[in-house]
Amino acid sequence: MPAVKPDLETRLAEDHHQAIKLWLRLLTCTNLITGQIRTRLREHFQTTLPRFDLLAQLERHPEGLKMSELSKRMMVTTGNVTGITDQLEAEGLVRREPDPQDRRACTVKLTPRGRQVFARMAQEHEGWVIELFEGLSSSEKELMYTLLGKLKTHLNGKEARR
């Protein structure tokens, strides 16, 4: 029996299996969490995750954001942002303001009502997230945060290199 080759092969095969297993578990956890949050947003506030996400971005940027900036931050296409913005604007939670420098662009801002509505949702939302991550201790969360940071850096590098 060859002494080296089997080990190497086994190592590789395990590595493969390892990445796949990790990926499936990562996806499962994300799905479980988004599922919970989606359900609660619907039941408590009759809204959806993407709508909430858009409002959250604007809350963090009181000066407003361009559609393209929203698209980048939300990691969805600009076409998608158009649709969600249309709805939130119709509901009176955000407003498109024309850009004086560039007539193609517009800045999206929270309306006072939007800010108010979001504040109520955000508070509950934060509680949900804390609760959903209670399975991990503070140091475990910290550790996971670090590991994901490393992964994210790698993924972004890959993205950039395309």
Partner DNA sequence: GCTAAATATTTTAGGCTTAAAGCAAAAGCG
Partner DNA sequence: CGCTTTTGCTTTAAGCCTAAAATATTTAGC
SS (H, E, C) 40-95: HHHHHHCCCHHHHHHHHHHHHCCCCEEHHHHHHHHCCCHHHHHHHHHHHHHCCCEE
Q: Let me know: does 53 contact 74? Beta carbons within 8 Å.
A: yes
Q: Which is nearer to a second copy, 17 or 113 (CB)?
A: 17
Give CA–CA dist 97/85, Å, rounded. Answer: 12
Q: Is 60 in the site for DNA (CB under 7 A)?
A: no
Size of the site for DNA (CB under 7 A): 33
Contact residue for DNA among 39, 116, 146, 156 (CB under 7 A): 39
CB of 149 to a second copy, least distance (A): 7
Q: Which is nearer to a second copy, 103 or 150 (CB)?
A: 150
Q: Give the per-residue contact string, 96-135, with a second copy (x = CB under 8 A; - = no).
A: ------------------------------x--xxxxxxx
Q: Which of 42, 125, 53 is nearest to 85 (CA)?
A: 53
Handedness of CA 116, 117, 118, 119 (dihedral sign): positive
Q: Let me know: does 85 contact 96? Beta carbons within 8 Å.
A: yes
Instruction: Provide the CB-side half-sphere exposure for 154 (13 A, CA).
Output: 6
Q: Which is nearer to a second copy, 33 or 106 (CB)?
A: 33
Give CA–CA dist 150/121, Å, rounded. Answer: 31
Contact residue for DNA among 76, 121, 122, 132 (CB under 7 A): 76
Contact residue for DNA among 33, 56, 105, 132 (CB under 7 A): 105
CB of 155 to a second copy, least distance (A): 4
Question: Site residues (CB under 8 A) for a second copy?
Answer: 15-16, 18-23, 25-36, 75, 126, 129-136, 138, 140-145, 147-159
Q: Under the rule (CB under 7 A), what is the footprint of DNA?
A: 35, 38-39, 42, 48-51, 66-69, 75-87, 96, 99, 101-106
